[in-house]
Chain A
Amino acid sequence: MPASLRHRLHETFVRWALRVRPPEPAPIILTQRRVYVLPTRAGLAYATALGVILLGAMNYNLSLGHALVFLLAGLGIITILHTFRNLVLISIRPSRCEPVFAGGLAQFDVVLENQRSDARTCLRLSVDDVPVEIDIGPRASTVATMNVRTARRGWLPMPRLTIETTWPLGLVRAWSYAGPNLNCLVYPTPAVKAPPLPWSSHSTRGSTKDGRGADDFSGLRNHQAADPPRHVAWKAVARQQDGPLLTKLFTGAAAQQLWLDWDALPDIVDTEQRLSVLARWMIDADAAGLAWGLRMPGIRLVPGSGQAQLAGGLRALALHDHGAR
């Protein structure tokens, strides 16, 4: 069978087998209707071996040989039930997914819950090729982290999850599909080579270029977690013993008024590159502890600093024009 046809048939089967169009509402419970069971390669070998043993037992009129075959056949049937039981009625809930830069690994966390009083053993979860193997204790839940390599910015829905098990004997494989409602925000990849932060042109408009520069000290205030460490007034802290950390404030307008402007880049730079450069600038500005604002088509972010500002800015970049794509 050609690979493409096989792939298409498989996809058709999965769409049918999933029964609900993904994303599915949480919690997803793997009911018996959506758990499938087929023998593995080892299971087929086992069945063949049983056939041969049966022939031998018949040929030599071995009553105990018959008993052996029948016991092993019973074991084969039992293992179907055990494997099925190992998977059925697990409930899956989407947990969370931290944003990542395109090209990085998106980590989808799903919570698998086992409401039964015996453990689920050796479950294999896969969205791509590399499976994750987990156990769930009795009446417990486990978080499984599924890694997916990202390629493009924007929202990345969690790919279809295949959850399977061959426990206990490895002769039978039970599996099911799930499409948890979980999306990963993928930021544009920060440009490796970007122009320096746009201090000049209109991003520094209104600054007082009076020779004291941007770092004019204007006063102190209590330290906040988001303040860059290099602005801590170490001397002042050293003077007053056991006092709170103080942050130096500066009057330089540029320090508070760095504008990252969509239009600051030449016209030949295309959208994705523009987004990449802006992402790089944001990261650099944040690392430098600068307050920055963003101006791009349809979005204006007032200057600010810290994690929330960075996240908001990157999110704006990630979702730029996203609906049209």
Chain B
Amino acid sequence: MARAKRPVSRRQAWWLLATALAASAPLTPHLPLWLTLGTATAFAWRAALTWRQWHLPPRWLLVILVMAGTVGVFLQYRTILGRTPGVALLVVFLALKLLELRAARDAVATALVCYFLVLGQFLFTQTIPTAMLACITILITTATLLAASDDRPNPRQQLGRAGLMLAQALPFMLLLFVLFPRVQGPLWGIPQDRFSAVSGLSDTMSPGSIAQLSQSDAIAFRVRFKGDVPPQSQLYWRGPVMPSFDGRSWRVTQILGAYPQVPYAAAGTPVDYEVTLEPHGKYWLFALEMPGTLPPESALTSDYQPIARQAVRNRIRYTQRAWPDAIAGGNEAPNMLRNALALPKDGNPRIRAISAGWRAQYGDDGAAILIAAENLFLKQLLIYTLNPPLLGPDIVDEFLFDTKRGFCEHFAASFVFALRAAGVPARVVAGYQGGEINPVDGYLVVRQYDAHAWAEAWIAGRGWVRIDPTAISAPSRINSNFTAAVPAGEALPFLARGDLAWLRELRYRLDAVTNGWNQWVLGYNPQRQRDFLASVGLNEPDWRNMTAVLSVLCGMVMLGLTAWILRNRLRVDPALVAWRRFTARLSRHGIAWQAWEGPLAFAQRAGMQAPVHARAIAEIAALYARLRYGPAPQPGDLSQFKAKIAAFKP
């Protein structure tokens, strides 16, 4: 392999620098600053080496640098395993490999590392922009591989050829993507990297915690209903239930996996839908109240919240059924009810006094106390706002009687407090309320600013009953959406503003594209693959018939491409055809054209042998020479040439 030992040319060095840059630049947001700076230095060094044609740095220096980089990565992450440290190490190697380009073999190795780094990009994000960026990186890297073989063409030609080859590879990619039997990962344990904080609900609720979420327009999940979309006021997406109160914060105290099956009976018209949940790092699966079925690998907590066996760290999809009228907890365990009555010993004397009055008036009639509490909230003329004033120690009293301004958590917390003080078991439920139908693809999009908190009271004979105290004071929050309920002038997340129609339209479209990408490209897992293949008529798709279909289709594409690539366009130059006719005619008169003879030399010789035709022969030969070898033949030349030959009768 003499070629592999050939030194790397300057052009090839520039190509390698370009591909290294294209492969590592998209990773900078995910890597520590020192590594980015070090990589940039190495790239600049490489550029200087190529520009000035300096000598390569000595091996021992590179060995030291590699060790320093490895130690740096270890100190940064306390490990060199796992995805982020692994990607960081690859970047170190790539940067230093550039300083060690000695032979063409090194160029190939560098290109392969760049392909790996494209995968590294996908470990962090897989959005459409990432995919586009990756396409550019792959294009440049492929052009670099081309340049490693032949560095003479200019960059445009190299990129063009790389693009052509990648375009020809596309059919294979599509076939393999659809038909290659998918395996559900992980194949081995994924190192538990730090999971970056994701905005979303938490397992405690204190004043202001949900209001904070209202500033985020990140998507929590998307829903596609099988039938009609239920009215907006019914879209309560049940999340963590919080029965425990310490005077300021509400907390989750639940028995995980209490029910492997739904413990209550079906009631009402079921609603079927499919949720595509964005990763949030918790175990919760959101479901429309009340959850009627459970997704695979999940269970129901003691307070009817579906939870997954594993934390939701990737986008997941599950189908669900809701029973809106189900009676949950008809005969609830006494300790659950006891927990739902617990209050701190003191604080909030005013509401306690009012509740004690209800208790005295209605006794054990929970339903009547519920109505009394609703009436109290209505009478107080509470204001729904994103910016409630800060509250002192008696948060319920101050909210209900002094400031009268609050967000949903204030409403829910105060309502539950009032019920508990009156002896009615109650708890706070956090989750999302509502959502927005995207008219482009019909998906209901639930964003973080749809986060909500409501109350649940236990009434004998009716089980747990949902009451939304926010709806009492701000019905528009429930009936239309969050934006409608917020008073004008308060800061809203960009996407929640509905004032620009075209922007809204654009947002719908973008979101539909993103959703399609998520559903069909990123979410193309074994399940979806089976469903899709079954829907296009492949019966009971398993890996055997998938592979068979894949082989047949790939073979067909291969044949088609082979035919296209090997098509032998032996379109002989028409000038040559006419010339052959002409020489054949002459050879019949004993003037044979020799293959080694140029047309002009031949004309001279033939002219001597047949002086009568010398002029015609010379003209024809001159035309032929111009057509075949001239820099720019005139358009009329060929027809003139043919006409002259046709007229030539020796």
At the interface, yes or no: B47 with Cβ under 8 Å from chain A?
Answer: no
- Mark out the residues of chain A between 23 and 78 whose CB falls within 8 Å of any chain B CB in the assembled complex: 32, 40-42, 45-46, 49, 52-53, 55-75, 77-78
A58 to B180, CA, bound (A): 12
What would 8 A/B residue contacts be, using CB atoms closer than 8 Å? A57-B119, A62-B122, A63-B521, A64-B522, A74-B169, A77-B558, A115-B570, A139-B573
Nearest CB in chain A: distance from B313 CB, A: 10
- Which of chain A's residues has its CB closest to B183's CB? A58
On whether the beta carbons of B4 and A78 are closer than 8 Å, the reply is: no
The listed residue (A70, A124, A139, A166) touching B176 by CB distance below 8 A is A70
User: What residues of chain A have their CB less than 8 Å away from a CB belonging to chain B?
Assistant: 32, 40-42, 45-46, 49, 52-53, 55-75, 77-79, 81-82, 84-85, 88-89, 115-117, 121-122, 124, 131, 139, 166-171
A122 to B169, CA, bound (A): 23
Nearest CB in chain A: distance from B55 CB, A: 26
At the interface, yes or no: B644 with Cβ under 8 Å from chain A?
Answer: no
Residues of A close to B177: CB separation below 8 A: 66-67, 70
Q: How many residues from B make CB contacts under 8 Å with A?
A: 63
On whether the beta carbons of A166 and B180 are closer than 8 Å, the reply is: no
Nearest CB in chain A: distance from B551 CB, A: 13
Residues of B close to A168: CB separation below 8 A: 146, 149-150, 161, 165
- Which of chain B's residues has its CB closest to A32's CB? B566
- Which of chain B's residues has its CB closest to A122's CB? B150
Nearest CB in chain B: distance from A175 CB, A: 13
Known interface pairs A46-B108, A63-B523, A73-B169; 15 further A-B residue pairs with C-beta atoms within 8 A, sorted by A's residue number:
A42-B108, A52-B116, A60-B123, A60-B186, A70-B173, A71-B173, A72-B138, A75-B165, A77-B169, A77-B172, A81-B566, A82-B565, A131-B2, A168-B146, A170-B149
On whether the beta carbons of B4 and A41 are closer than 8 Å, the reply is: yes
Residues of B close to A84: CB separation below 8 A: 565-566
On whether the beta carbons of B568 and A89 are closer than 8 Å, the reply is: yes
At the interface, yes or no: B197 with Cβ under 8 Å from chain A?
Answer: no
A78 and B169 contact, Cβ closer than 8 Å, known pairs A32-B566, A45-B112, A53-B115: yes
Residues of A close to B561: CB separation below 8 A: 78, 81
A170 to B148, CA, bound (A): 8
On whether the beta carbons of B112 and A49 are closer than 8 Å, the reply is: yes
On whether the beta carbons of B173 and A60 are closer than 8 Å, the reply is: no
- State which of B31-39, B126-134, B410-418, B611-619 sits at the interface with chain A: B126-134
A67 to B171, CA, bound (A): 12
- Mark out the residues of chain B between 53 and 103 whose CB falls within 8 Å of any chain A CB in the assembled complex: 83
On whether the beta carbons of B522 and A59 are closer than 8 Å, the reply is: no
A79 to B108, CA, bound (A): 15
- Which of chain A's residues has its CB closest to B141's CB? A72
A70 and B180 contact, Cβ closer than 8 Å, known pairs A59-B185, A117-B571, A168-B149: yes
- Which of chain A's residues has its CB closest to B518's CB? A63
Nearest CB in chain B: distance from A98 CB, A: 17
On whether the beta carbons of B122 and A64 are closer than 8 Å, the reply is: yes
- Which of chain B's residues has its CB closest to A131's CB? B2
On whether the beta carbons of A63 and B187 are closer than 8 Å, the reply is: no
On whether the beta carbons of B138 and A167 are closer than 8 Å, the reply is: no
Residues of A close to B558: CB separation below 8 A: 77
Residues of A close to B568: CB separation below 8 A: 89, 115-116
Residues of A close to B122: CB separation below 8 A: 57, 62, 64-65, 68
On whether the beta carbons of B126 and A62 are closer than 8 Å, the reply is: yes
Nearest CB in chain A: distance from B5 CB, A: 12
On whether the beta carbons of B184 and A61 are closer than 8 Å, the reply is: yes
Residues of B close to A116: CB separation below 8 A: 568-570
Residues of B close to A56: CB separation below 8 A: 119
On whether the beta carbons of A85 and B171 are closer than 8 Å, the reply is: no
On whether the beta carbons of A166 and B521 are closer than 8 Å, the reply is: no
Q: B165-194 CB contact bits vs A (8 Å, 1 = yes)?
A: 110111111001100101111111010000
On whether the beta carbons of A170 and B190 are closer than 8 Å, the reply is: no
At the interface, yes or no: B1 with Cβ under 8 Å from chain A?
Answer: yes
Residues of B close to A71: CB separation below 8 A: 138, 166, 169-170, 172-173
Nearest CB in chain B: distance from A15 CB, A: 24
On whether the beta carbons of A65 and B146 are closer than 8 Å, the reply is: no
A67 and B173 contact, Cβ closer than 8 Å, known pairs A60-B186, A170-B149: yes
On whether the beta carbons of A63 and B108 are closer than 8 Å, the reply is: no
A170 and B145 contact, Cβ closer than 8 Å, known pairs A49-B112, A74-B171, A115-B570: yes
Q: B549-570 CB contact bits vs A (8 Å, 1 = yes)?
A: 0000000001001100110111
Residues of B close to A171: CB separation below 8 A: 145
The listed residue (B1, B105, B522) touching A63 by CB distance below 8 A is B522
- Which of chain A's residues has its CB closest to B142's CB? A75
The listed residue (B83, B118, B150, B569) touching A60 by CB distance below 8 A is B83
- Which of chain A's residues has its CB closest to B571's CB? A117
The listed residue (A49, A60, A88, A139) touching B115 by CB distance below 8 A is A49
A137 to B521, CA, bound (A): 43
On whether the beta carbons of A59 and B149 are closer than 8 Å, the reply is: no
A52 to B150, CA, bound (A): 28
Nearest CB in chain B: distance from A146 CB, A: 16
Question: Counting chain B CB atoms within 10 Å of each CB, which of A62, A67, A73 scores highest?
Answer: A67
On whether the beta carbons of B188 and A66 are closer than 8 Å, the reply is: no
Residues of B close to A131: CB separation below 8 A: 2
On whether the beta carbons of A64 and B126 are closer than 8 Å, the reply is: yes
A57 to B182, CA, bound (A): 11
